[in-house]
């Protein structure tokens, strides 16, 4: 038996490859599916099933493409209502995989169709459970309010989730392995562990949903307290996963267009096109196209694209270093942003001049910030929780996720910082696009500021 986790760090998302006697099941495949096919081919195995734990909101799954390429059926749990051919299983159903079995355990709560899959070995002994967004390590999936279930509140869903975890998962054998759908950083939970694999026995000790810390009423209150609004692109991803989408190969073919300077000058006359700069923040600071938004590939690229651009139908021209074009398109497609018009390669300042007179962003290091910031406007774009745990003197907290709604509350000549310097450059690019002038980004962010203070 082989169980392998395929982890997409940018999305904190896990897909799973299970192989038993040369038969393979894939659970929650990522949108790019070639690596699953190649893995099965390397052992002369056949992909027999594609299991979906639920309709994902934070990424576009590759289930439809993988099914088309392998002819393997797509399997959902109860209550799923996709608009394509698949198997809707019942609670307790088993699917034979070589000399092993995969048992369906309906675990609603995150969504009503949420289902976990229990892997049984050749001796019919419980081996591992794939919990999707029902049970995370150290946490649980928040009620998926992006789907707006008719007649059900977030409290109702939280109560259902409590029952699913305690009545369906907690009674399982202690020594089985828990394979969750996400790790730390995902918007599908509140405080997940950085680890992505653990034993159920350990989770019964440390996970508040399993260890008896809360009664059901207390659990509901804890889970739904300060529940954030889902990112704007989540409902669109649910729809794509439920109704269908273009294969990644089609999206790649449509998007892989090198844009000339003349084409660019004509295209930017439209207000409906977003210019997305995906290079390193250091490069963006030095020179960038006017009105472009920075979201670098070296950070949590896809989630921030979704949070900032919001609409998956946004037409995008992206700026990248040579050779990064396919990576950008793939990572955009993972969250359903399939409307790339094309790309511009910029590897040095000379290349930008044929498109436009470049803009730049002033930066200061932490030492100079501390020396010169007295009586200045200071914007901390970290989250509210980060801000509560400490900030710099008179800083105003305006989280990056809400920066556009707070434009009128931000002055020209403001200093902007985050934790390490990535989010603050995104924030400055948005502010500059909206007419704010003479912004000053703090290089290395709050970590650098703190380090400088401690060294004095």
Burial 169-200 (b: 16+ CB within 10 A, else e): bbebeeebebbbbbbbbbbbbbebbeebebeb
Q: Is 362-455 in the same CATH topology as 246-353? A: yes
pLDDT, residue 147, reads 65
Among the four given CATH numbers 3.60.15.10, 3.40.50.10420, 3.90.1530.10, 2.30.110.10, the one describing domain 2-234: 3.60.15.10
DSSP 258: B
User: Going by CATH, does the domain composed of 362-455 fall within 3.40.250.10?
Assistant: yes
Contact 222, 214 (CB under 8 A): yes
pLDDT, residue 186, reads 86
Tens-place pLDDT, residues 264-302 = 999 998 889 999 999 999 999 999 999 999 999 999 999
Tens-place pLDDT, residues 436-449 = 999 999 999 999 99
pLDDT, residue 145, reads 63
**Mean pLDDT throughout 316-329?**
98
pLDDT, residue 313, reads 96
Token duo for residue 306: 């979704």
pLDDT, residue 31, reads 97
pLDDT confidence of 149, banded at 50, 70, 90?
A: low
Residue of 176, 167, 168 whose CA lies nearest to 203: 176
The residues near 429 (Cβ < 8 Å, ≥ 6 apart) are 277, 284, 288, 292, 293, 294, 361
pLDDT, residue 146, reads 64
Pairing of strands 87-88, 378-380: unpaired
Architecture field, domain 246-353: 3-Layer(aba) Sandwich (3.40)
Tens-place pLDDT, residues 169-211 = 999 999 999 999 999 888 888 888 999 999 999 999 999 999 9
- Residue/partner pairs of 221-226 with CB below 8 Å, 24 or more apart: 223/140, 223/142, 223/143, 223/158, 223/161, 223/190, 224/143, 224/154, 224/155, 224/158
DSSP string covering 425-441, please? HHHHHHHHHTT--S-EE
Write the CA distances from 328 to 284, 332, 335, integer angstroms: 16, 6, 12
Contact 395, 358 (CB under 8 A): no
Residue 125 has pLDDT above 90, yes or no: yes
Q: Phi and psi for 195 in degrees, rounded to 5?
A: -70, 155
Tens-place pLDDT, residues 34-76 = 999 999 999 999 999 999 999 999 999 999 999 999 999 999 9
- The residues that bridge with 74 in the sheet, in sequence order, are 50
Q: Where do the domains of the chain lie? A: 2-234, 246-353, 362-455
């Amino acid at each position: 038996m082989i169980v392998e986790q395929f982890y997409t760090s940018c999305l904190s998302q896990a897909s799973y490859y299970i192989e038993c006697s040369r038969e393979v099941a894939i659970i929650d495949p990522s949108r790019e599916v070639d690596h699953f096919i190649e893995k099965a081919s390397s052992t002369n195995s056949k992909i027999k099933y594609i299991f979906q734990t639920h309709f994902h909101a934070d990424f576009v799954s590759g289930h439809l493409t993988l099914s088309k390429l392998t002819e393997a059926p797509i399997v959902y749990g109860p209550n799923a209502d996709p608009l394509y051919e698949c198997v809707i299983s019942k609670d307790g159903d088993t699917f034979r995989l070589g000399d092993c079995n995969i048992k369906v355990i309906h675990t609603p709560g995150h969504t009503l169709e949420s289902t976990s899959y229990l892997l049984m070995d050749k001796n019919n002994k419980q081996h591992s459970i794939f919990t999707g967004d029902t049970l995370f390590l150290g946490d649980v999936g928040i009620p998926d309010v992006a789907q707006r279930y008719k007649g059900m509140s977030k409290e109702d869903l939280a109560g259902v989730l409590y029952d699913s975890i305690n009545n369906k998962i907690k009674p399982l054998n202690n020594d089985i392995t828990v394979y969750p759908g996400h790790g730390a950083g995902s918007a599908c939970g509140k405080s997940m562990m950085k680890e992505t694999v653990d034993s159920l026995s350990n989770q019964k000790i440390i996970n508040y949903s399993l260890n008896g810390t809360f009664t059901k009423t207390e659990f509901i209150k804890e889970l739904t307290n300060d529940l954030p609004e889902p990112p704007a692109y989540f409902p669109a991803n649910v729809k794509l996963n439920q109704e269908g989408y273009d294969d990644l190969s089609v999206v790649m073919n449509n998007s892989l267009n090198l844009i000339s300077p003349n084409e660019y000058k004509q295209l930017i006359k439209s207000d409906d096109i977003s210019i997305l700069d995906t290079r390193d923040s250091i490069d963006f600071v030095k020179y960038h196209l006017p009105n472009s938004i920075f979201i670098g590939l070296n950070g949590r690229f896809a989630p921030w694209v979704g949070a900032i651009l919001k609409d998956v139908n946004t037409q995008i021209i992206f700026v990248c270093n040579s050779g990064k074009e396919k990576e950008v398109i793939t990572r955009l497609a993972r969250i359903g942003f399939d409307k790339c018009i094309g790309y511009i390669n910029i590897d040095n300042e000379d290349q930008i001049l044929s498109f436009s007179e470049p803009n730049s962003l002033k930066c200061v290091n932490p030492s100079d910030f501390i020396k010169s910031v007295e009586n200045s406007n200071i914007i901390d774009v970290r989250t509210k929780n980060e801000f509560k745990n400490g900030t710099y003197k008179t800083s105003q907290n305006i989280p990056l996720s809400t920066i556009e709604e707070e434009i009128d509350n931000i002055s020209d000549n403001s200093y902007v910082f985050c934790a390490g310097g990535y989010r603050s450059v995104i924030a400055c690019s948005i502010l500059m696009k909206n007419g704010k002038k003479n912004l000053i980004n703090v290089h290395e962010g709050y970590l650098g500021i703190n380090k400088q203070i401690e060294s004095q």
